[in-house]
Structure 1
């Protein structure tokens, strides 16, 4: 009897263990179909994450290894002079009755939009002898590229291009090929290549780009503009201060809402 009792007890234990295993398998997704679905979902999620990282990195570095396209170079009329004055470039005919100061950052998307909307109109007014534009390259967003520094390097390169009377063409090409804020800008090699594609042959241009010849002056000029109360503006978010783009007439910022350029040429801008 003792042996039979042990056999019976062992059989009961084996049956209980079998039930426990079955329950555990059911709780843990023992259904092969459910297991397969879970595995597929994990694989798909991993693929999406990896694909997203690749896409973000690709987008972030979209300017790497590419040439800045010169596009159609603007035609400056006879008598138009590009003159470098410190870190300001004046473009116009001597004796033009109207002058504006334009403060812009090559990384600033609002500056890019201003150039798209008004760049050709300003250049037409320059060619007609109506307007002189004093271009101030601003480094407001210098920390907003990846890696930081594009605002300063592009500004320095544009000033170097002015020495070969190629500022306007260089300026327009940078805005036409403007990188996105927060992403990779163009490196010094790409900036030098743009100048060469625009016809700059003077070796001093590449030397100035590589050396950051105008860097210190640009940073000082930015600090001065940032602290100038005459250049401060009110912004939609309630902030007040210096920003880009800024258009100034007689040293004071004007509103850029509406057709501000016509107002400047007519003497009614404020």
Structure 2
């Protein structure tokens, strides 16, 4: 009897010891898995294509819940906007699809007067709205925008020809946009639903209020940042190393203010005044081949072909500032309407 009791007690002790070892082993495994998961997270579940949406004066390209939202201001005939998109368009696409970046595209058309039709930027803006609205996918919207900035597609400022609505529709088809979008672009059937002039005015006013001088221009949560040519701005935006959004760590969002990518400055006809704050100097866009030499800084912009010459003011006005009281008003800039009269390129 005594031997039996001792035997049972030993068995119980052994069981307790093995149970303790099993629990300790389980805790070690769980801790290892937790550390491994934190260091090497599982890829996110497939959420399908990233969305795109038309939000009044904004084309929202990407998931609105993405890690980093940026506002990007572009004009479709600006060669410097083309440089930006050619350099970073593909990497931006990857970050958009990975739900790390959402681009709030704010299109402007202040360079309309420098296109052959005097309306190209506005018509390309409308086309981008139609493709985005009909496809509702970031991939398609961004693909169309990138295609319009390709070297073999983007018209030159001051050239004798730009793209017709039919050619814009053909490009939409080439990138795989819905046929409805191509039809709307070609026929102008849905054009009345896209007020390009109001979109331009609202975005220009917002850009000016944030210190913007021209395109390309970008802000993160209202703070401008450097669009450097080596891509550090994009790496910093999507870097997972920071647990807080850049704008929460510094007034400029943790990104230096300014523009290092070539930059097209806004001319007087765009009615945007220069900010009082000092920004790093920007690079004036090169004059198109065959175009007359640019006027000295502070001089009125040349009138588009066919427009009456402006009446000279008795004294030069401060750069991009309102004319002094009593000075003759300059000739009005060409109207940036959604459906301008046909130009030589159409």
TM-score category (smaller protein): 0.5 to 0.7
**3-state SS of the aligned residue for 2:71?**
strand
Counterpart Cα distance in 1 of 2:163 and 2:131: 16
Counterpart Cα distance in 2 of 1:232 and 1:226: 11
- RMSD of Structure 2 on Structure 1 (CA): 2.3
Counterpart Cα distance in 1 of 2:96 and 2:111: 28
Alpha-carbon shift at residue 89 of structure 1 (Å): 1.5
Counterpart Cα distance in 2 of 1:100 and 1:161: 21
**1:147 pairs with one of 84, 107, 117:** 117
**3-state SS of the aligned residue for 2:52?**
strand
1:122 aligns with 2:92: yes
Counterpart Cα distance in 1 of 2:172 and 2:141: 9
1:191 aligns with 2:168: yes
Unaligned runs of 5+ in 2: 1-46, 240-245, 247-253, 257-346
1:218 aligns with 2:196: yes
State the Cα deviation string for residues 111-166 of structure 1 (Å, max 9, x = none).
Answer: 00000111112112112221111112210211111121110111101111112243
1:175 aligns with 2:149: yes
1:103 aligns with 2:103: no
Alpha-carbon shift at residue 218 of structure 1 (Å): 2.5
Alpha-carbon shift at residue 209 of structure 1 (Å): 4.9
Alpha-carbon shift at residue 210 of structure 1 (Å): 3.3
Corresponding residue for residue 269 of structure 1: 255
Does structure 2 retain, via aligned residues, the 8 Å contact 1:101–1:133? yes
Does structure 1 retain, via aligned residues, the 8 Å contact 2:58–2:104? yes
1:84 aligns with 2:54: yes
Greater displacement, 214-223 / 87-96: 214-223
Counterpart Cα distance in 1 of 2:215 and 2:64: 27
Alpha-carbon shift at residue 216 of structure 1 (Å): 6.1
State the Cα deviation string for residues 33-68 of structure 1 (Å, max 9, x = none).
Answer: xxxxxxxxxxxxxxxxxxxxxxxxxxxxxxxxxxxx
Counterpart Cα distance in 1 of 2:181 and 2:87: 33
**3-state SS of the aligned residue for 2:214?**
coil
Question: Quick one: structure 1 residues 181 and 80, their matched pair in 2 at CA, closer, same or farther if it must change by over 3 Å?
Answer: same
Corresponding residue for residue 211 of structure 2: 232
**3-state SS of the aligned residue for 1:222?**
helix
Greater displacement, 194-203 / 83-92: 194-203
Corresponding residue for residue 226 of structure 2: 255
Higher-helix-fraction structure: 1
Larger of the two Rg values belongs to structure: 1
Does structure 1 retain, via aligned residues, the 8 Å contact 2:75–2:121? yes
Alpha-carbon shift at residue 208 of structure 1 (Å): 4.8
Counterpart Cα distance in 1 of 2:186 and 2:214: 26
State the Cα deviation string for residues 187-228 of structure 1 (Å, max 9, x = none).
Answer: 001011112223334435423553272686322232223233
Corresponding residue for residue 207 of structure 1: 184
Does structure 2 retain, via aligned residues, the 8 Å contact 1:156–1:215? no
TM-score normalised over the length of structure 1 = 0.62
State how many pairs are aligned: 186
Does structure 1 retain, via aligned residues, the 8 Å contact 2:131–2:178? no
**3-state SS of the aligned residue for 1:186?**
coil
Does structure 1 retain, via aligned residues, the 8 Å contact 2:173–2:179? no
TM-score normalised over the length of structure 2 = 0.49
Alpha-carbon shift at residue 104 of structure 1 (Å): 0.3
Corresponding residue for residue 41 of structure 1: none
